[in-house]
Every structure is written in structure tokens, then in C-alpha cells.
Amino acid sequence: MDLFSSHTLLFAGKWLFVALIYGALFLVVVAVRREMAGRLPGGQAPASTAVGRLVLQQAGGDPAARPGAVWQLKPDTTLGALPENDVVLADPLVSGRHARLRWDGAGWWLEDLGSTNGTLVNGQRLVPLTAHKIAPGSQLHLGDMVLELQA
């Protein structure tokens, strides 16, 4: 049998075709897996024991707040003036639902929920409705209040 007959070539091509498609599928799976690994370090479940706290630096217009006050953070923590928030900030310039802090297993993400006066991190204004990764030690400005993220 002629090894280089068109029949053999087409047969080899058919399987190469299948191999390439599965190669693409393999790359897709690897990418998904890498993404998941980035979110869940060491393959652990998403840390329900998210480590982090907010420390009040400047009380702004909240009469009840004292600098040095500490809030322990949940993996999903809301900040705002309304009492239903996890972190209640009674400053007149803080919106009812102002911002949201989320733990992705490796770091904290802050999102401004479309507040009236915006949120600043280390002096930089956040684009509203977009999650931004923030480093431990960052200063968060909401209205006239300043909080420090400690992880």
C-alpha cells in the first residue's frame, strides 16, 4: 500500500482535524481552570473567613463615629448611609447605597454603586458601577469620611 496515497493523507488529515479541535477545547478548559485557580488559591473553597477590616480615619459629618472605630469585613460587605448596610456611614455626603467591598479569595474589590458624590481610593476617583481591585492599606474616601482597608 502506498503510504503517501491520497487516501492515507485524507485519513491522517481527518484525525489531525479532530486533534486540533480538541486542542482548542483543551486550551479553553485550561483557561477556565486557571481563572478559577486565581479566584480560589490552593483550590480551597472561597474563603468565608475573608480577612480584612475597615478602620475609620476621619469621621467627617457622622456625629456618632469616632476615628479608630473598626468594622470586620464579610466576603460581601455593603457601605452606605442606610441602616441596612453592613457598614453604616451617617455622613450627609454618603449615599444610601454607596459602595460595596467583595472578597474574591485573593483580594478585595471595591465598587461604587453609583453614589452621588463618588468614591476615591488613595485620592483617585473610581469609575462608578465597576469593580476595582484595591490593595491593603488603601485609604477609601466616601463623602467626608476616610476609612483604611487593613487585610
Partner 1 sequence: MSRLARLSPRRTERRLLLVIFAVAVLGFLLTGLGLAERQALPLASAILPALIPPLLLAVLFGGLHLVLRWCRLEAEQLLLPIVALLSTLGLIMIWRLRGESGVYQQVVRGFVPGVVIMAALALRPRWVEQLRRWALPLSLVGLALSLATAFFGVVDETGARLALKLGPLPAFQTSELLKVALIIFLAGYVAREGEKAEGRARPLLGWLRLPSGQYFIPGLVFVGMGTLALVQMSDFGAVLILGLLFVGMLYAGFDTRLFATVAAIGAGLALVVGFVLVFTWHIPTVVQLRFQAFLNPWSEAEMVVDGQPTGVTISEGPGYQIQQALNAAITGGLSGTGLGFGSPEYIPLAHSDFIFAALLEEMGAVVGIAVLGLFAVLLLRLLRLAALLPPAQVFERLLLTGIALHLFTQMFIMVGGTLNLLPLTGVTVPFLSQGGVALMLNLAEVGVALALTRRLEALPA
Residue ranges in contact with partner 1 by CB under 8 A: 6-7, 9-11, 13-18, 20-25, 27-28, 31-32, 97, 100, 109, 111, 113-114, 127, 129-135
Q: How far is the CB of 93 from partner 1 (least distance, A)?
A: 20
Our CB check for partner 1 shows the closer of 72 and 76 to be 76
Our CB check for partner 1 shows the closer of 72 and 130 to be 130
Beta strands across the sheet bearing 119-121: 70-72, 53-58, 145-150, 139-142, 119-121, 124-125
Q: How far is the CB of 68 from partner 1 (least distance, A)?
A: 27
Paired with 120 in beta bridges are: 125, 141
Our CB check for partner 1 shows the closer of 10 and 64 to be 10
Paired with 9 in beta bridges are: none
Q: How far is the CB of 12 from partner 1 (least distance, A)?
A: 10
Our CB check for partner 1 shows the closer of 52 and 60 to be 52
Q: How far is CA 100 from CA 9, 17, 81, 94, 111, in A?
A: 59, 48, 12, 13, 5
Q: How far is the CB of 27 from partner 1 (least distance, A)?
A: 5
